[in-house]
Every structure is written in C-alpha cells, then in structure tokens.
Structure 1
Amino acid sequence: MDYKIAPSILSADFGHFTRDVKRLEQAGAEVVHIDIMDGHFVDNLTFGVGVVAALRPETSLFFDCHMMVEHPEKYITEFAKAGADSMSVHVESTPHLHGTLQQIKNAGMKASVVINPGTSVELIKPVLSMVDMVLVMTVNPGFGGQKFIPETMEKVAELSAIREAKNLNFEIEVDGGITDETISLAKAAGANVFVAGSFVFKGNVEDNIKKLKDQLN
C-alpha cells in the first residue's frame, strides 16, 4: 500500500487555513486531516462543515474528516455536499455503526472506523470487510500535541494481520504524537497513513513533511 502523510489542520493557523493547506500540497502531503469536534464526544470544540466547504475549492488534496462528534450520522449528507472525501467515525459515537458506515459509502465518501487507545480491535471486526480505512488513535482524542502511546502499535499489528489473513484491503491510519521518530514504529507495525499535526506545523512545514517522508523511505 502507498504511504501517505496526512497533516492535521488542528495545528494550522486558524486565520490562514487556505494558505496552510496550499503549503501542505506544495510540500507533498497526500491528505488533509480535518478534526471535527463537538465539545460533547470530546472536550474540545473545533470546526464544522463550513471549513470543509471553504477549503474544497482551494485544493485537490484528499479530505479525511475525522468525526469526534456524537451521532455523526446526522452530518453525513452535508459533509458529502461540502466536498469531504472520507469520513471517520468512532465506534462509541453511533448506536448503529454498520448502518452509519453504509450511509457514508452511499453518500459517495470513503468510510473509516476509529478506535481509541482503550478500544479493542474486537469491537470493529464485524465491519472490517466494509471499511476503506481503520484509524487507530495513538493518543486519547480531543487535543493536539499529546505524547504517542506505544502500546497502540499492538492494535495496528493485529489489524495488519487480520487484513492479510482475510485478504481485505483497508488502509491503516495512525493519529497522535506522530513525529520523525514515532512514524517508523507505526510503519513497522503495518500503518500506511500517518496523521501529524504539531510536528508538521511547528517550524518549517516543507522541511517537516520531508523529514517524515525520509523515514518512510
């Protein structure tokens, strides 16, 4: 599978999203990771569908919308219309996980399921055959700048083994504390999409993305 860098705009300059997203594209990022938080499912409150709609005409990068919200099924249609390419939903956020993932696919987006550091892979086994991606949180969701939790790599390795044994083709994304040091651990465990926020946006964006890519090569 192709390796992809997915910078999180949670760490970008909120007053200059367009500028920062264009910089990501020029620097060779493949994906823009957009953290949607409602202040209920997690304590933080970030941005909504308006940001996706505003950024869509500015870039052709893939928009990976990570829904840290209660009842993400309520927002599927509007995010699809705004130009989201993928929607990632947490196991705990929706009462009908399979149905919600089905709705996301029916709306023309890729569907992804998310597990937190305290969530077992067992809980998502029933939907692995239908998802395009599994997002393994490598920190607890809600705020950027947290320290990578190494134990989460066991789940990445477990998912990688299931994917191979069952001949499935979902991608494995990791999110939280990804730096030029931790990215190689995630790659070795079987991840291929790497969300990095603080690491990318602190200092020179182009240099930092290059450092991440160098580790993958």
Structure 2
Amino acid sequence: MYKLGPSLMCADLVNMERDIRALEEAKVDFYHIDIMDGKFVPNFTLGPDFVSAVKGLTSTPLDVHLMIEEPERYIDLFIEAGADMISVHQESTKNLQRVLNLIRNKGIKAGVAVNPATSLEFLDYIYDVTDYVVVMTVNPGFAGQKFIPSMYDKIKELKEKITAYGRPIEIQVDGNIGAETIPGCLNNGADMYVLGTSAVFRSDNTLQQNVANTRKLFDKGAEV
C-alpha cells in the first residue's frame, strides 16, 4: 500500500495552518519535514520549533529528515518536538548503527537516507535496525531538481535486497516525485512518496485536488 507525504518545505509558510487543514481533508498519510544545517547540505530550512508547531495542528505522523552533521546530537530534541519518524544520512555520522538504535529505542521509526551516488552495500549491516530507507532521487538540499533516472534501478535493487532480508522495511522516494516519475518508482517497488512542487504544491489546483490527482496515478497501478 502506497503512502503519500507532502514535503512541508514546499508549503506556504505564512499560511501553514491553512495548508495543513487542506492536506488533512485530503487524508495524506504523513508529513515530511526537511531539516538542513548549511553544512551537510548547502541550505538551511526548518527546525524543531516548526516540527512542534505542526504537531499542534495534526495527529498525522511527522517524518523528520535530518540532513545535518552529527544527527545523534539532536535526536532527543526532534522527538520532543513531535517527530514520529526520523531519517538520517549514512554520510552524516561516524556510527550509523548507533544512531538508528538510538532512534528506535525512543519508540519511533528509524530511517536511513541514501544519496544518489551512494552504494546500497552499507545497508547490509543495518537492516535489523532500519524501518525505512529513503532513496534520494535528486541530490539533497534544494527543491525543484530533476529526477535522476538511474534511481529507478536503485529502487528495484533495494526492493530485491529487502525482500531477501525478510523484514518489513519500507522504501521512501524523495526528489521530483510527480506524474512523470511516480509510475517508475511504483513499478520498481517504492512504498512512501515525498511530494513537493512536482505534485502536491502545484499552483494550478488546490492542495486537495493535487492530492486527488496524485492518487489517480497509483489507482492505475502498473498500467501507469
């Protein structure tokens, strides 16, 4: 079953409560919140106060994507702010296994994000402490980038690895996910879809209509 998660970095920050209400009406499955520190990626975005504010508006799970150095220093901060899921990058910490264990021991889901040029081999040693894998289909840091086509093969390879491992690990895709790219992600095994300016936050329709139009892509299944 696929899950849709609007990327709140792309929302109207001045009218966030309005946008959250509209997305709640559209019955999205989770909210994706990007945290950037200007070091691990060349951009700054949201923080724990934003997570806390969103938590006060919804009971829908909050998926916090930490694109920051030494994420282990801030896990408690974001859990206290309201995170239900936290993903970190393999390259951002010296001890990924420890960080994932730390997240899971706090009672929330732990994810690991994989940059486009990063091999999947390191995952062989952390599947037992991983709840979801974020396949970055663009280089992290900025919205509006082009999808990297070779990531379809990466999603497929990851799906095969997870199936062989035998744990219920979900595959999340993040980066230019929309009408042109959803079919390939779906057919190769992705489960969770982070939706930004290519899908939900388009100006040609309301947020509710954009979510509905996106769902139609999945309803067509493998025929898309």
Instruction: State the TM-score, normalizing by the size of structure 2.
Output: 0.94
Q: Give how far 1:165 is off.
A: 1.4
The residue type paired with residue 19 of structure 1 is R
C-alpha separation between the residues in 2 aligned to 1:92 and 1:104? 17
Corresponding residue number in structure 1 for 2:202: 202
- Following the alignment from structure 1 to structure 2, what is the Cα–Cα distance between the partners of residues 135 and 201? 21
SS of 1:6's equivalent? strand
Deviation at 1:188, TM superposition (A): 0.5
1:211 and 2:208 are equivalent in the alignment: no
Q: Which amino acid aligns with 1:127?
A: I
Count of residue pairs brought into register by the alignment: 216
**Using the alignment, how far apart are the partners of 1:71 and 1:166 within structure 2?**
28
Q: Cα distance, 1:129 vs. partner?
A: 2.2
Whether the aligned pair in 2 keeps the contact of 1:91 and 1:124 (CA below 8 Å) is no
Secondary structure in 1 matching 2:215: helix
Normalized against structure 1, the TM-score is what?
Answer: 0.97
Shift of 1:57: 1.6
The percentage of counterpart residues that share the same residue type is: 44
Q: Any conservation in 2 of the 1:31–1:62 contact (CA below 8 Å)?
A: yes
Separation (CA, whole Å) in 1 of partners of 2:22 and 2:154: 32
Match of 2:185 in 1: 186
Q: How large is the Cα RMSD of the aligned pairs? A: 0.9
Distance (whole Å) between structure 2 residues aligned to residue 147 and residue 63 of structure 1:
25
Indicate if the aligned counterparts of 1:80 and 1:108 stay in contact, CA closer than 8 A: no
Q: How does 1:51-70 map to 2 (within 5 A)?
A: 51-70=50-69
Gaps of 5+ in 2: 220-224
CA distance in 2, matches of 1:101, 1:130: 6
Specify every segment of 5 or more residues in structure 1 that has no aligned partner in the other structure, as ranges.
none
Deviation at 1:28?
Answer: 2.0
Q: What secondary structure sits across from 1:201 in the alignment?
A: coil
> Residues 46-81 of structure 1, C-alpha deviation per residue, up to 9 Å, x if partnerless?
011000111112101110000000011111111111
